[in-house]
Amino acid sequence: MTRPTPLDPPARLLMGPGPISAYPRVLRAMSAPLVGQYDPFMTGAMGEVQELYREVWATRNEQTFVIDGTSRAGIAAALVSLIRPGDRGLVPVFGRFGHLLAEIAERALAEVHTIEVEWGQVVPVSMIEEAIVRVRPTLLALVQGDTSTTMNQPLDEIGALGEKHGVLFYCDATASLGGNDFEADRWGLDAATAGLQKCLGGPSGSSPITLSDRAVEVIRSRARVEAGIREAGDESAADFIRSNYFDLGMIIDYWGPRRLNHHTEATSMLYAARECAAVLLSEGRANVIARHRLAGDAMLAGVRGLGLTVFGDVAHKMNNVVAVEIPDGVPGDAARQAMLEDFGIEIGTSFGPLHGRVWRIGTMGYNARKDAVLTTLAALEQVLRRHIPVPAGGGVDAALDVYRVSA
């Protein structure tokens, strides 16, 4: 066997719907030396992560930390811990990730009710309230930004509905957090989770989570019931949280002052999560969101400037991703391949009803940048013109105009 050579990934500009190219600062943090699990530096870093993410989420929630695992780990931890077997859950679906929430809630043995709108739309608040009144759920699980359709579900009125009807409100903000407004406390969230590999500008593998006192009380009361069941020796009747790894009660005790041993916190991922939040907060939360909005507006204008049509209700588009209809006469997969092989630029394909119909182009985190936007548009023009006529320079010019107006 030949000796393995050092790892040497190709240079890529990741302009898809995630994962994206990480901030250099985040990559540097990940190569920092490891320390022990209870080293004062490590426990200090964990405390710092909690504090930083309270600001990222705009919350005062004591229980704000990260779950080790990709975004889906955060989703699973939240749903498995908050849903008791037999609870009714309501999941409004407006894209692929709504189906994922429904599936994970079902695995947590919820009786899941879904309401759906067509891809490319968001769910009207009145439709959600009507379903809450009809279904009487204990939990409402809703995606904020669904990258499969690029839509950004308005959340500002949903928390009040939850409060009014006594429903816990959980949100998957993986695709949107850091690049779009998110106000955990002001919007009345009980639980929210995310990942690093979208607007937060890190690698996948750590899932920020925040829990309201009401959510923590649900988790704590389950732990008390569980202790009672164990004492009575009737474990068959169990209301237990059906996962050790994702038992938020245990994870809270691990992050809390007692530091009860649970898993070994993933040190390098903790460093990454720390640095993602530090980059965001040193630039300023509002400034980072504005930078995403600007890059997204420029990319939107740019693809239109190339004569392309954008999918979905653009008024509700996330700042950080756009779905572009693949024009007649252009082979979608071959064009994506040319972007990657000739220019080192990755753009995204699509799922479900949009498969083969749109490309998804992201501008997130480190890559929510003028040069990244312009380079992508210039490359896309070259790739398109092999197949169809395109306005020369139309993409770059339109994007530059957006930057000029904002300057």
Ligand X SMILES: *Cc1c(COP(=O)(O)O)cnc(C)c1O
Q: Which stretch binds ligand X (CB under 6 A): 140-148, 221-229, 349-357, 385-393?
A: 140-148
Binding status of residue 97 toward ligand X by CB under 6 A: yes
Binding status of residue 143 toward ligand X by CB under 6 A: yes
Which are the contacts of 401, defined by CB distance < 8 A and separation ≥ 6? 301
CB of 82 to ligand X, least distance (A): 17
Out of 70, 149, 152, 375, name the contact with ligand X by CB under 6 A: 70
Residues 155-194 that bind ligand X (CB under 6 A): 172, 174-175
Q: Which stretch binds ligand X (CB under 6 A): 30-38, 65-73, 223-231, 286-294?
A: 65-73
CB of 122 to ligand X, least distance (A): 13
Q: Is 84 annotated as a binding residue?
A: no
Binding status of residue 94 toward ligand X by CB under 6 A: no
SS3 sequence, 374-398?
HHHHHHHHHHHCCCCCCCCCHHHHH
> Two tokens at 262?
């649970």
Binding status of residue 346 toward ligand X by CB under 6 A: no
C-alpha torsion angle, residues 201, 104, 249, 70 (rounded to 10) = -20
Binding status of residue 195 toward ligand X by CB under 6 A: yes
CB of 204 to ligand X, least distance (A): 5
> Two tokens at 270?
């903790």
Q: Which stretch binds ligand X (CB under 6 A): 5-13, 143-151, 359-367, 376-384?
A: 143-151
CB-based burial, 126-149: b 16+ in 10 Å, e otherwise: eebbebbeebebbbbbbbbbbbbb
CB-based burial, 320-330: b 16+ in 10 Å, e otherwise: bbbbbbbbeeb
Q: How far apart are CA 144 and CA 142, in angstroms?
A: 6
CB of 25 to ligand X, least distance (A): 21
> Two tokens at 54?
């309270």
Q: How far apart are CA 163 and CA 169, in angstroms?
A: 9
Give the binding-site size for ligand X (rule: CB under 6 A).
Answer: 13
> Two tokens at 36?
């022990």
321/384 with CB nearer ligand X: 321
Out of 13, 14, 15, 18, name the contact with ligand X by CB under 6 A: 18
Binding status of residue 254 toward ligand X by CB under 6 A: no
Binding status of residue 71 toward ligand X by CB under 6 A: yes
Rg, C-alpha atoms of the chain? 22
Q: Which residues are annotated as a binding site?
A: 360
What residue ranges bind ligand X (CB under 6 A)? 18, 70-72, 97, 143, 146-147, 172, 174-175, 195, 204
Q: Which residues are annotated as a binding site for substrate?
A: 360
